[in-house]
Chain A
């Protein structure tokens, strides 16, 4: 059409519109007499005019204001959303744009996710999400991203979460930099998060490489718990048999690009439970190993067909050359990928057990010199030289510490078993165990319950150390609690606590416990000390990092090591350091004489030397409520020297915190048994 033709058409059109509808047709016939093209054009425009209704009658902003609100907040760097100041755009992440932001109130960095308008305007749905987010956050699991807040400011809905400085598994898979051990480690960490979430009745529903981050230090975090559910269409049909791939799913944006990780039940629109996460994790691990998806097709429908009906190519055939996929690993992943939920591995816990078996087997095969020796209980062999040497290097440092501490602990416990406190101690012990197994998560207790729990557990651990039961004052309990909280929060990367998550620390400590137990028993030092000193000290940094020796592990100065017969170059050799540490602690006990009946003093002396502890005690001899134990020192710390205030006063509460968590892993959502049990 030319402008001139349009002018003609428009003239006819305008005149027709001015007439009553019933007259328009006859008017057009007359006005366009002979001009068929004009008639056709005008008629179709009249029809369009009649049909158009409120087409473009409402300004675009009434429909798209949400988009304008959410768009290009990257331009808003330096600007504020609620209490947050945008620092930069992070981009990666789940549903919604993600920014690095500064929280002015708490002076911390957060990841701020701006929610798409799709559901930001659905209050009821958002409230449900908020509830779920809180529940997941309350798990305080090191492998689950902590959600700080779901909020709104100036029409923008946002979720503020902890900020993780790491790469997504998607990025890591693309770079192909993960070793088999790291892949398995990642899978274990994801699994351990799923265990905790599933226990709390929360299914992730969207486990995929984009939703999993791994920091440089190996800590893995699952992002976006609950968000998948938030994004699901809430049509009634969703409860029943829905058509796969219908428009609703696509509209929700949820499945765009994530089809490959969907479980068969998700693909069919059936209700899902935790086994959906197991499937998706299986897909992720498969992809990490094979660099390709187990179920894929050219189109979304093809992918769904593959998910529902095809068997994946055997992992051992498609896995990267650098990965030696054992039959056990292949079988484990296959058991994640069974089409029927009932055929699948039934729980994340079960999967975690399988993954650990795979990893133990791998470690044994890789490192044991005599590979003919197959061990069903690897711990039992940790004492033998080849086994200990075989441990991956990164473990050797922490191990060391661990070992040494353990040695000290055992001896003590044996020593004190003979003492008169033995009976009440064991009674309290079992009472403590009973409390601990009541199973309420620490993070779900109110503060009074937490304090009570800490108090009970402190006494229990004191007695395991051979101490007389000492009723702590409220301040001491609160201080221990603050350390418990910090450990449980450890993934929030407070530098002085080290960067490994508490879950990592305990998982790594595990194989060394028997070794530590043996050495410490030989010196009659309570094993409980042996196990937890390294946890306290551990930033779990590599032993060689520190020029003064194994600080951060067993805190031996080179001259001390020398005195105990450990050459400087052997300070990271667990087998040499463990007995030396036990010996050192035993000597401190001897030096402290009667005071050593308070093992908390021995603990302190480990860090500061028995002489210094004695000096402190001497200083307080005339103090009120004087008792020769750490807690007296602690209560009067203001009167003591800086050395005590700076270090000693933190050391023991920190130890108790580590022991409380390690002895009550179930209360903290950790998957391993109490560490001291592994020493039995």
Chain B
């Protein structure tokens, strides 16, 4: 089973170091973090699907936490690192889903007249429904625009929607009060909803 596969070869120091570098604004650190996180995200998704099938609801945060512990290998880690990890996870999650949605859209537009992309459709993006892909792409675009106007709101949405964090966790990661997050969230939601619907 999947659990028996080789453990990932990253040590806690590497991860912590990367998280810190990324937290300090080093974009290259994110590139190195991404593959590690990417793999964990799929594991999270597996667990999610599994539990869902067993009829249990699941807090995404619990899984992300678990992933972090697996990667970092110890519970004894600075909260700040964990917060960075949440943020990375949310970002990577967003990136994966948007990539999927893009490929799905590509197939939709190119797939009918040239038959070759059908193979692409099948092999890569057969999983996402077309309306869902369209919705995600519109949301992503609106988030970009929102980031330009109000970057914290865009981060709140990223952490909550893509990272699965609760209000409180989001507040911790962003080092603001939960009330601020709540207000950011409702304004962002209204703004995004309007932007997505007017597409």
Contacts and interface: CB of A to CB of B under 8 A. Distances in A.
Nearest to B157: A56
B79 interface: no
Contacts of B33: none
A67 interface: yes
Contacts of B164: 59-61
A80 interface: yes
A71 B46 contact: no
A558 interface: no
A544 interface: no
A95 B126 contact: yes
Contacts of A55: 189, 192-193, 196
Interface residues of B, number: 64
B128 to A, nearest CB: 5
Contacts of B67: none
Given A3-B148, A3-B149, A300-B112, A156 B46 contact: yes
B93 interface: yes
A437 interface: no
B59 to A, nearest CB: 9
Interface stretch (B9-17, B24-32, B70-78, B116-124): B116-124
A437 to B, nearest CB: 43
B176 interface: no
Majority DSSP secondary structure for residues of B touching A: helix
Contacts of B118: 210, 256-258
A458 B67 CA distance: 63
Interface string B1-45: 110111000000000000000000000000000000011011011
Contacts of B130: 250-251
B141 interface: no
B114 to A, nearest CB: 9
A67 B157 CA distance: 20
B162 A117 contact: no
Contacts of B47: 155
A271 interface: no
Interface in A35-51: 44-49, 51
Interface in B156-199: 157, 160-164, 183, 186-187, 189-194, 196-197
Contacts of A47: 194
Given A49-B186, A51-B193, A250-B130, A69 B97 contact: no
Contacts of A95: 122, 126
19 contacts: A17-B186, A45-B187, A48-B197, A52-B189, A55-B192, A55-B196, A60-B97, A64-B128, A66-B49, A68-B44, A82-B1, A89-B123, A97-B123, A98-B123, A154-B46, A155-B53, A256-B112, A258-B118, A298-B113
Given A45-B190, A68-B41, 11 more contacts: A14-B183, A44-B194, A56-B161, A60-B97, A62-B48, A64-B132, A68-B96, A153-B1, A156-B46, A251-B129, A257-B121
